[in-house]
Amino acid sequence: MTLSTENEIYARFNRARRVWAVAPVNGEAKRLTALHRQLIERLEPGDRIVYLGNYLAPGADAVATIDALLHFRALALARRRAFACELAYLRGTQEAMWQKLQELQFAPNPREVLPWILTRGLEATLRAYGLDPRQAEAACREGTMAITRWTGTLRNAIDARPGHRQWLSALRRAAFTEDGALLFAHAGIDPEKPLEMQRDAFWWGAVGADMLALTQPYAGFKRVVCGVDGAHRGLSESAHAALVDGGAGPDRPLIAACFGIGGAVQDRLVA
C-alpha cells in the first residue's frame, strides 16, 4: 500500500458533495473499527473523509489504530471510481509531539522535553511500538549520541510496521473544499491570522480562541470544523463553526459527522 508523500501541507477536496469528519480517535482502535463498519455502508458518490487528528494516544492501541486506518483506506479505495484524494488525515497534537520525539536529539533540553511528551500520552504509544520509555530516559542522561541511537531505534520500530512511515508522512495541516465552503482543522485557527500564517495553531489551537464564538465566516469559509472540544460534547455547532469530539475512550464514544457543502450536518455516526 502506498500513500502520497508529496510535499503538500493542505488537503484539498475537489468536487465534494459531502465531507465526513471523524473525531479524534485517541488510540481507540476497536471503536475506530466499529465506526468504519458503519461508515463504509454510508459512503455515497462524491463523499470525502477527513480525520481530525489525535490518532495515537492516550489509548494503548496506537499501532492497531494506524493499522485500522490503513485497512479502511484500502476498503474505501476499492470502491468503484474511488481516488486517494478522497481521504485526508490531519496532524493532531499527539502526532506533532510524536514527530518531536523522533527528533529528540535536536531539542535544546531533551531531559525536560521527554517527560513533558511522555506524560501527555505518548508513553502508551512508545509501548505499543515495543519500546521502553526508560531507555529513552537513560539515553537523555547519557547525552546526544545516545539519544541519536535511541531515536534511530524508534524510527526502526515505526518502519517495521508496514505503511506506518508513509501514513505519518501523509498527515496534513488542514483540509478544505475547493469551493471555499468548508475548512477542517484539528484544534482550531486563530481568527486574526490568514490561513497561511496559522502554522502550528492548527494542532495546538490559538490562545483564547473559541471556535464556536466566531461571529463571521473565517477567510470566506462558510464553516470551520475542528476536532478538539475540551468538554467532549460530541457534535457542537454555531453559525460559523462546528466541533466534532466525543472524547473517544473506554467510556466515551468515537463520533463522525457528515457535512454538506452548505455547512449543514446531514448525517452522524457513533461507535
In the block, cell 488525515 appears at 89
Decide if 69 contacts 180 (C-beta within 8 A).
no
**What pLDDT does residue 207 have?**
62
227, 240, 221: which is closest to 91 by C-alpha?
227
In angstroms, the CA 259 to CA 3 distance is 25
Angle of helix 144-159 versus helix 93-102 axis, rounded to 10: 120
Domain residue extents for the chain: 10-92+166-270, 96-159
Whole-number Å distance between alpha carbons of 217 and 223? 7
Summary mean pLDDT of the chain: 93
The CATH architecture annotation of domain 10-92+166-270 reads 4-Layer Sandwich (3.60)
Q: Which residue in this structure is represented by grid cell 496534513?
A: 172
Per-residue confidence (pLDDT) for residue 205, from 0 to 100: 83
pTM over 0.85: yes
DSSP secondary structure code for residue 118 in this structure: I
Decide which of 55 and 81 is more confident: 55
pLDDT in tens, 214-249: 999 999 999 999 999 988 999 999 999 999 999 999
Read off the pLDDT band of 199 (50, 70, 90). confident
Give the confidence band of 81 by pLDDT, cuts at 50, 70, 90.
confident
Q: What is the per-residue pLDDT for 147? A: 98
